């Protein structure tokens, strides 16, 4: 055990956990990383490419090394950073990326062949033979590389999404963030304070410096209590703001229950979409390391992390440690560890004039090598030409701090090089209203961070017209680090820059030699900064190394920026519960419950659930059911819910003129009380949508659309009304959901309707084909009746307010029992429309024209309808393919939609293609399979035999070309 | 993104459907001489500026207004939003 005294852990309670099957214990307040270190576990995993043994490197979300598989079974989470995984009782974790035990990884052989795996090796090595890539190289590489493994099971937990609004979002709850939140909170602004940690305080929790002569945690506790008491402040702990988006919208993930074994009744995580008028970026800084040979040994870590483990978690990674630094911050770690009783073997400072700040050995020099493959045993020190090995179990490396510019660069904000700080600070950003403060702005001392946080809040609120005074702040340390840059230790051997993707100084040198010098090339050639940590601890160091090689200053070498997300975001929380049946809203027809009670089988039609067919006992195949429904309709009367077709109510003095411009055909001339088939074109001249247009009054029309295009057609009509012809007196409203519409089709349709209308004259003379009227049914229920037919039979569509839809269907079924009333679904509907030769979605697929549909003459040239001009252009006018009916020469053969049509004897090639089959079905009326399709010169080829082919599956069938009306070609049934 | 709806104030872009260049307001007269050439341009040719762009957005999950939004395509800064109806009545999009 390497526990020290003090710390922010609750020693009264023990938490049991396992790592790679072995049991350990820790305390509340621990992370998995601190608990492992407390149990003397330095080796936590293997590296990505060379399978090098690795250990904990940091104490936060920047961790590149200590990635584990957390939990087991369906909840297993690969690539979880042990440094941010909060310890709970019963936690299970396993190391990843090794074959065999962690201590003896068979793939560590990669390390011996490292010279083959240098930068760009994929591009250079696996070139030949080409065919090997897909079958051999790629699968082998994929098995060997990569990190943890997925559970391959569905995520059992619930997730949620939410929206939050505030005046000021404070990102980070450290010194600067707390000062900003206090300042804004006291001014009465609506504030959200989000911190990724489970405890507020940030770096204040990791330092030993007092605030106002008391431990910093006391000030943090007071600030937290004050914030919690303010009603205008919301504190989100365990909440990572992962991205800044346009206009002050921020994405954040709150890990609601990740610190529990199972979420229980809670959601596991919540995705917050925060709309903030202004934001303060108080995300702190990330320490950088100094590459030297074998600097990836387990036990070598950031000096600031080592200090955090000692102060916050009361842990030292070893009993005897050393520090390698180029600034005063490293000395601070030495002092803090020594104060906790840890033996400090030496502080190795690269600054020749550095002075010891306490009772420890100071060496002016550099660390040039390290030994201890599975755990550090010692480091080699070069000092003034002398070289010695120093025994130590851990080494803290302090190379200076990089402001955490991550979120500030999501909006094209280019980090700016600050020569004095020797670091990039946030540049001018885009439009997310983000102001950096504290260490994230390069204001790294505690006093400067506090001050800068308060000032940032005042500035942000002033922009909103909210007056605020900076919160009074405690006295705090204000030391500068006196950094003298040292970007890497020169020498032989491999010195790691990017730990997660195994990129070394050598790789950067190679990229330089191979002229991959611009930073974007460097990244892609070496994969530097392209691991899941986005190179948080690597990028600036790599730039500096490249700058040294090119002889150009760092700002001229380039900058790297970051992209959302700041740290990994699970797909589950992005889905936020919109999975499976909840993937999208489901729309149910007014007769849905009734249809279900009838045993209907449903089909998804866009968002709608529609009855597909209504099987009866004894029917063993869907076609039996559909054939029965078709024949029952054609013989007696069928009933079908057609509510899903779009309905648009069009009213106003100019309604007729407006519709004349919307439709290809004329509508102004339609008589009141009549319905007309209408075809809409796209402005490019192609056919778009069809439906009916009923004129209920001089200034009142009802337009119907197809189910699929109900939304787009309405949008287009509003576009025409508002954007093209706002001078017309016309109003639109979608009434698709307001009216339940039921088709009543078949020779008995009139007799059935006569039984429910309130004395309305349905005779052919009074209410002929294509008539419409408002009326009442069933003793006073307001209704609309349209004599229109999709089936080719005598047919009506009756509309009643949606809430009466089910009652109407029940009444019709009850009243029509002796007339053979039969419900039918979308399959029978489809069969009957193919038999009748009506176009539907398959024919109106966006690539066809009115002329192809046989409706060319409907496109009026006497008026300026949408699409009319373009429909007459040469290319479309020359099109000869037209809609025809197709019937197999041998009635036993089947016609399939999607087959292409060829002349008999012609080869089946694109050049000889004469068209395609759009729709096909078995027709109980014809007694064979039938189809509709577009055929070149089809109108002149009636009776001819053509070949329908599906070369993909070797299918071929001889078809006879027939007119597209298989049922009642003269239309007598409709008009009787 | 947030779109400053002239009637409803700042609304989330998720409520809107995007169409494109506000030049679509300037539909040629289909009955005029040379209409086909004018329509070919109207239907197919668009400017794609890096910078200030006037474009049509439909408040589909809202009040169903079509808006002409002026947006800088390089920064996503929104410089203004008007009812398309008003723009058209004033003579169309420039």
Say if residue A622's pLDDT is above 90: yes
CA distance A620 to A313: 69
Q: What number is the ipTM of this complex?
A: 0.98
State how far residue A229 is from chain B, nearest Cα, in angstroms.
Answer: 30
Worst-scoring range by mean pLDDT, A153-157, A599-603, A746-750, A767-771? A153-157
Q: Looking at residue A140, what is its pLDDT?
A: 66
What pLDDT, on the 0 to 100 scale, is given for residue A429? 62
What is the predicted pLDDT for the residue at A856? 93
DSSP summary character for residue A497:
E
**Do the Cβ atoms of A724 and B88 come within 8 Å?**
yes
- pLDDT tens sequence across A251-287: 999 999 999 999 999 999 999 999 999 999 999 999 9
Percent of chain A with pLDDT over 90: 88
Put simply, the answer to whether B76 touches A247 (Cβ < 8 Å) is: yes
Joined tokens for residue A564: 């959302």
From B88, which residue of chain A is nearest by alpha-carbon distance? Answer: A723
pLDDT tens, residue by residue, A158-188: 999 999 999 999 999 999 999 999 999 999 9
Question: What's the pLDDT band for A132 if we cut at 50, 70, 90?
Answer: low
Name the minimum distance, in Å, from the CA of A708 to any CA of chain B: 16
- Give the model's pLDDT for residue B54: 97
**What is the pLDDT, as a whole number, of residue A122?**
61
> What pLDDT, on a 0 to 100 scale, did the predictor assign at position A96?
87
Q: A102 pLDDT band (50/70/90 cuts)?
A: confident
The pLDDT score that the predictor gives to residue A55 is 96
Model confidence, pTM: 0.90
Please state which of the ranges A31-35, A525-529, A649-653, A742-746 shows the lowest mean pLDDT: A525-529
Residues 6+ apart with CB under 8 A from A612: A600, A601, A602, A603, A825, A826, A827
Instruction: Name the residue of chain B whose CA is nearest to A724's CA.
Output: B25
Over residues A378-434, the pLDDT tens digits come to 999 999 999 999 999 999 999 999 999 999 999 888 899 999 999 999 987 666 689
Mean pLDDT over A892-906 rounds to 96
- A780 touches B: beta carbon within 8 Å: no
Q: How far apart are CA A345 and CA A329, in angstroms?
A: 17
Can you say whether residue A182 is alpha, beta or left, with left for phi > 0 and alpha for psi between -120 and 50 degrees?
alpha
d(Cα A803, Cα A182) in Å, to the nearest integer? 54
Q: Note the pLDDT tens digit of each residue in A321-343.
A: 999 999 999 999 999 999 999 99
| A433: closest chain B residue by CA | B77
pLDDT at residue A144 greater than cutoff 80 = no
pLDDT of residue A63: 97
Q: What pLDDT digit, counting tens, does each position of A529-565 carry?
A: 999 899 999 999 999 999 999 999 999 988 878 999 9
Alpha-carbon distance of A532 to A84, in angstroms, equals 15
pLDDT at B94 over 60: no
Q: Do A431 and B77 touch (CB under 8 A)?
A: yes
- Among the residue ranges A293-297, A458-462, A533-537, A873-877, the one predicted with the least confidence is A873-877
Helices (H), A2-130: 32-38, 109-112, 121-125
- Contact list in B for residue A865 (CB cut-off 8 A) is 30
Pairs across A and B, CB distance < 8 A: 77
Looking at CA atoms only, how far is residue B75 from chain A in angstroms?
A: 7
Enumerate the residues of chain A whose CB falls inside 8 A of the CB of residue B13.
246
pLDDT of residue B69: 98
pLDDT(A150) > 60: yes
Q: Which tops the pLDDT comparison, A48 or A120?
A: A48
Contact status of A584 with chain B (Cβ, < 8 Å): no
Contacts made by residues A971-975, CB under 8 angstroms, sequence distance 24+: A971/A792, A973/A747, A973/A792, A973/A793, A973/A794, A974/A769, A974/A789, A974/A792, A974/A793, A974/A794, A974/A795, A975/A764, A975/A768, A975/A769
Q: Identify the pLDDT of residue A944.
A: 97
Residue B19 with chain A: CB contacts under 8 Å: 719
Partner-chain contact A726 B88, CB within 8 Å: yes
- What's chain A's average pLDDT? 94
Task: Looking at the complex, report in whole angstroms how far the Cα of residue B43 sits from the nearest Cα belonging to chain A.
Answer: 6
Sequence-separated (6 or more) residues with CB below 8 Å from residue A203: A174, A175, A284, A308, A439
- pLDDT band with cut points at 50, 70 and 90 for residue A110: confident
Distance from the B28 Cα atom to the nearest Cα atom in chain A, whole angstroms: 10
- Nearest chain A residue to B4 by CA: give it: A247
Q: Which of B2, B76, B84 sits opposite A722 (nearest CB)?
A: B84
β-strand partners of A395: A300, A322
Measured CA to CA, the distance from residue A687 to residue A709 in angstroms comes to 12
With bands split at pLDDT 50, 70 and 90, how would you rate the model's confidence at A1? Answer: low
Q: Tell me which residue has tokens 């950031």.
A: A302
């Amino acid at each position: 055990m390497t526990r020290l005294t003090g710390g922010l852990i609750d020693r009264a309670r023990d938490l049991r956990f396992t790592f790679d099957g072995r049991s350990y214990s820790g305390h509340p307040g621990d992370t998995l990383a601190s608990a492992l270190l407390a149990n003397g576990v330095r080796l936590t995993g293997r590296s990505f490419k060379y399978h090098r043994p690795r250990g904990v490197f940091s104490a936060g979300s920047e961790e590149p090394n200590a990635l584990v598989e957390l939990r087991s079974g369906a909840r297993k989470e690969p690539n979880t950073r042990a440094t941010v995984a909060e310890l709970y009782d019963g936690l299970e974790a396993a190391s990843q990326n090794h074959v065999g035990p962690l201590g003896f990884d068979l793939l560590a052989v990669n390390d011996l062949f490292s010279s083959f795996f240098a930068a760009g090796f994929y591009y250079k090595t696996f070139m030949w033979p080409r065919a090997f890539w897909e079958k051999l190289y790629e699968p082998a590489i994929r098995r060997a590389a990569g990190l943890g493994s997925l559970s391959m099971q569905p995520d059992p937990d619930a997730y949620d999404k939410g929206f939050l609004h505030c005046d000021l979002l404070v990102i980070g709850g450290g010194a600067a963030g707390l000062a900003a939140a206090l300042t804004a909170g006291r001014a009465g602004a609506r504030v959200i304070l989000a911190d990724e940690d489970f405890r507020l305080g940030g770096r204040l929790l990791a330092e030993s410096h007092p605030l106002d002569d008391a431990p910093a945690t006391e000030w943090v506790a007071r600030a937290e209590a004050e914030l919690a008491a303010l009603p205008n402040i919301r504190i989100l702990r365990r909440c990572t703001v992962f991205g800044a988006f346009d206009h002050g919208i921020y994405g954040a993930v709150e890990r609601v229950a990740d610190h529990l074994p199972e979420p229980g009744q809670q959601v596991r995580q919540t995705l917050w979409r925060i709309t903030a008028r202004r934001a303060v970026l108080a995300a702190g800084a990330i320490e950088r390391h100094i590459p030297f040979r074998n600097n990836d040994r387990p036990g070598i870590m950031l000096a600031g992390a080592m200090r955090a483990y000692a102060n916050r978690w009361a842990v030292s990674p070893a009993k005897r440690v050393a520090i390698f630094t180029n600034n005063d911050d490293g000395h601070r770690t030495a002092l803090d560890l020594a104060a906790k009783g840890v033996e400090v073997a030496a502080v190795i400072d690269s600054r020749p004039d550095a002075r010891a700040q306490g009772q420890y050995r100071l060496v002016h020099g550099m660390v040039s090598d390290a030994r201890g493959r599975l755990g550090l045993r010692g480091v080699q020190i070069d000092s003034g030409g002398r070289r010695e090995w120093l025994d130590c179990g851990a080494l803290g490396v302090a190379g200076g701090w990089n402001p955490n510019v991550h979120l500030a660069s999501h909006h094209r904000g280019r980090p700016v090089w600050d020569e004095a700080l020797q670091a990039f600070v946030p540049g001018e950003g885009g439009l997310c209203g983000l102001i950096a403060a504290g260490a994230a702005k390069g204001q790294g001392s505690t006093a400067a961070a506090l001050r800068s946080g308060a000032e940032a809040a005042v500035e942000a609120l002033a922009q909103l017209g909210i007056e605020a005074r900076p919160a009074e702040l405690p006295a705090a340390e204000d030391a500068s680090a006196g950094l003298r840059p040292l970007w890497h230790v020169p020498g032989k051997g491999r010195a790691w820059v990017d730990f997660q993707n195994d990129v070394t100084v050598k790789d950067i040198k190679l990229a330089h030699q191979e002229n991959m010098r611009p930073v974007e090339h460097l990244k892609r050639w070496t994969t530097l900064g392209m691991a899941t940590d986005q190179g948080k601890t690597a990028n600036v160091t790599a730039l500096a190394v490249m700058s040294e090689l090119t002889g150009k200053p760092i700002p001229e070498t380039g900058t790297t920026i970051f992209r959302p997300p700041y740290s990994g975001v699970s797909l589950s929380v992005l889905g936020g519960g919109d999975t499976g049946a909840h993937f999208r809203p489901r729309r149910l027809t007014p007769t849905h419950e009734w249809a279900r009670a009838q045993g209907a089988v449903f089909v998804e039609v866009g968002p709608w659930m529609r009855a597909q067919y209504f099987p009866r006992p004894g029917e063993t195949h869907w076609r039996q059911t559909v054939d029965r429904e078709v024949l029952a309709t054609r013989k007696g009367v069928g009933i079908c819910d057609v509510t899903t077709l779009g309905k648009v109510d069009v009213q106003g003095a100019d309604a007729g003129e407006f519709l004349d411009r919307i439709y290809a055909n004329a509508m102004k001339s339609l008589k009141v009380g009549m319905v007309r088939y209408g075809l809409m074109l796209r402005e490019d001249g192609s056919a778009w949508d069809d439906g009916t247009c009923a004129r209920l009054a001089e200034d009142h029309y009802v337009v119907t659309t197809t189910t699929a295009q109900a939304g787009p057609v309405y949008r287009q009509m509003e576009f025409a009304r508002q954007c093209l012809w706002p001078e017309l007196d016309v109003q639109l409203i979608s009434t698709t959901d307001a009216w339940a519409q039921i088709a009543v089709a078949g020779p008995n349709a009139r007799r059935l309707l006569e039984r429910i209308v309130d004395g309305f004259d349905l005779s052919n003379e009074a209410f002929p084909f294509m008539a419409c009227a408002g009326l009442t049914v069933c003793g006073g229920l307001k209704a609309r009746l349209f004599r229109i037919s999709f089936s080719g039979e005598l047919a009506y569509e009756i509309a009643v307010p949606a809430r009466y839809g089910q009652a109407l269907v029940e009444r019709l079924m009850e009243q029509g029992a002796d007339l053979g009333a039969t419900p039918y679904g979308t399959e029978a509907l489809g069969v009957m429309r193919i038999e009748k030769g009506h176009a539907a979605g398959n024919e109106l697929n966006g690539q066809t024209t009115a002329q192809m549909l046989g409706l060319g003459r409907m496109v009026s040239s006497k008026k300026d309808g949408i699409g009319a001009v373009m429909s007459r252009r040469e290319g479309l006018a020359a099109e000869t393919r037209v809609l025809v009916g197709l019937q197999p020469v041998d009635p036993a053969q089947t016609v399939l939609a999607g087959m292409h049509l060829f002349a008999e004897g012609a080869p089946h090639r694109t050049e000889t293609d004469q068209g395609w089959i759009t729709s096909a079905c078995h027709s109980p009326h014809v007694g064979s399979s039938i189809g509709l399709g577009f055929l070149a010169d089809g109108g002149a080829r009636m009776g001819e035999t053509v070949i329908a082919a599906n070369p993909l599956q070797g299918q071929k069938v001889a078809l006879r070309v027939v007119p597209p009306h298989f049922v009642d070609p003269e239309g007598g049934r409709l008009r009787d | 993104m947030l779109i400053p709806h002239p009637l409803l104030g700042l609304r989330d872009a998720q409520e809107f459907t995007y169409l494109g260049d506000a030049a679509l307001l300037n539909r040629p007269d289909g009955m005029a001489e040379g209409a086909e050439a004018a329509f070919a341009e109207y239907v197919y040719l668009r400017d794609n500026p890096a910078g200030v762009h006037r474009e049509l957005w439909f408040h589909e999950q809202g009040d169903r207004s079509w808006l002409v939004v002026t947006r800088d395509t390089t920064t996503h800064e929104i410089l203004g939003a008007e009812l398309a109806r008003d723009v058209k009545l004033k003579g169309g999009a420039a």
